[in-house]
Amino acid sequence: MSPRVHRFFPIAPILTLTLALFTAAGVQAASLPEFTDLAEKAAPSVVNISSKVAMPEGGPAMRQGPQGPQGPRGRNPLEEFFRDFFGEGMPMPRPQASLGSGFIISQDGFIVTNNHVVQDAASIEVLLDDGKDTYPAKVIGTDPETDLALIKIEPKTRLVPLEFGNSEQAKVGEWVLAVGNPFGLDHSVTAGIISAKGRVIGAGPYDNFIQTDASINPGNSGGPLINMAGKVIGINTAIVATGQGIGFAVPSDIARGVIQQLREHGEVRRGLLGVAIQDMDANTAKALGLKEAQGALVASVSPGSPAAEAGIRQGDVITRVNGQPVEDSRTLTMRIGAMPPGERVKLTVWRGGKQKEYTVKLAKRSAEALGQMQPGQPGPQQPGGELLGMSMRKLTDQEASALGVEPGRGVLVQAVAPGSPAEENGVAPGDVILEINQQPVNNPAEAQRIINEDAKRKGVALLLLSRRGQNLFVTIPMGQ
């Protein structure tokens, strides 16, 4: 029988390890932030906003549409029910209510919220922190492009405002507190960190969101995102519906200027340059003789615009605004949009292998959308040419007029071979090639000559295309 083996472990190392673990846990717990004072300080400044939208006759519950259930004869079953029960004089739907949040920025009742919280509202009510005082509010101004709004109440006493902080100085990983009314649960607070900055989520031309994992839910819209100093560094605006811990806030550095303009003018007055721009890539930079793919490439210049009057041309690359580098087209859009109409702006432009400077006096940006011309019907077949997988031919004057192209200018792309260099880089049938490597193209023979003499030498072909009335650049590497 084998002897029983006893294993003895020294007590001192175990005690030492246990004490070390408890000590580490204590240090970690001690290093976590305390939010009680911050939540208590912010609470009186955060409000609950209830808005009612007067629905038109046959509102959502009564309206036929692709998203609603359809009964016999293609009518909404609810509409059938109300008509059968009440007759033709069926009751009108009640106004649709929505809940959101906001925060006070002045003692006399100015409140910041989201545009989508008050948009199309027939009436707006604001409930203060005490849960008792409710005030009617009026809209001072809205800015749909940043989803911000300013409203005003007439309080009985002086209110407690919050101050804007500096969102540019905020760092990823920094603790923040979100305050609002998720799902109507008034004055809820959630804590988290800044997950990222400068997020583009496709909400508009001025996307530049702070991403946070502080829980944000429906009803938080318009509430503040507060740093540990008690300053507002963001306005909670959007969430990813299918995700958790992914919320977005408009940075305070953007909101501050927007709110100031809404307070002064009732609208946001943005500067207009008058150019259509697009991003650069390595091949485009190579074609234009730039060392780096930075800047905003000017695809077109509106006639009579500030840019046109200052001398900016199609094919220019705007690399700096007032001496500050322009990384891409989004950077230029935000820089110009942050400037008021009438301001003089110094633009640094790359053209023809040289750097030039122009001073532009900005106009007022209009909300009118540019009309897009639709392509005309294919014209008669004419002898053409093939280039980089494209078959081309000259345009008739009728086609040029229908496509928004000056008669006699450009060649029409008739077909693009699958897998060809043209197809892989985004050229499509119906496009009109206006220039190759910034040289005008009026027939297939000119296109072939420029390719042979210039594009092969540079190793890249930069095509200026007209597509549905809009100009854009496409770059095709010659090695493909």
Catalytic residues: 116, 147, 221
d(CA 478, CA 457): 9
38 touches 230 (CB < 8 A): yes
232 touches 164 (CB < 8 A): yes
C-alpha gyration radius of the chain: 30
| 3-class state of residue 79 by DSSP | helix
Which pair of tokens denotes residue 330? 């989004």
Reported as type and span, the H/E element at residue 332 is helix 329-337
Q: Which residues pair with 110 in a beta bridge?
A: 152
The answer to whether 221 is annotated as binding is yes
Reported as type and span, the H/E element at residue 168 is none
Q: Where are the alpha helices (DSSP H) in 163-312?
A: 252-265, 282-288, 306-310
The answer to whether 265 is annotated as binding is no
The answer to whether 328 is annotated as binding is no
The answer to whether 348 is annotated as binding is no
318 touches 300 (CB < 8 A): no
The answer to whether 240 is annotated as binding is yes
Locus of tokens 């550095």: 253
> Rounded to 5 degrees, what angle do the CA atoms 378, 383, 384 make?
80
Contacts of 122 (CB under 8 A, 6+ apart): 52, 53, 54, 95
The answer to whether 471 is annotated as binding is no
The answer to whether 130 is annotated as binding is no
The answer to whether 219 is annotated as binding is yes
Q: Got the DSSP string for 224-256?
A: EEEETTS-EEEEEEEE-TT-SS-EEEEEHHHHH
Q: Report the binding-site residues for substrate.
A: 116, 147, 219-221, 237-241
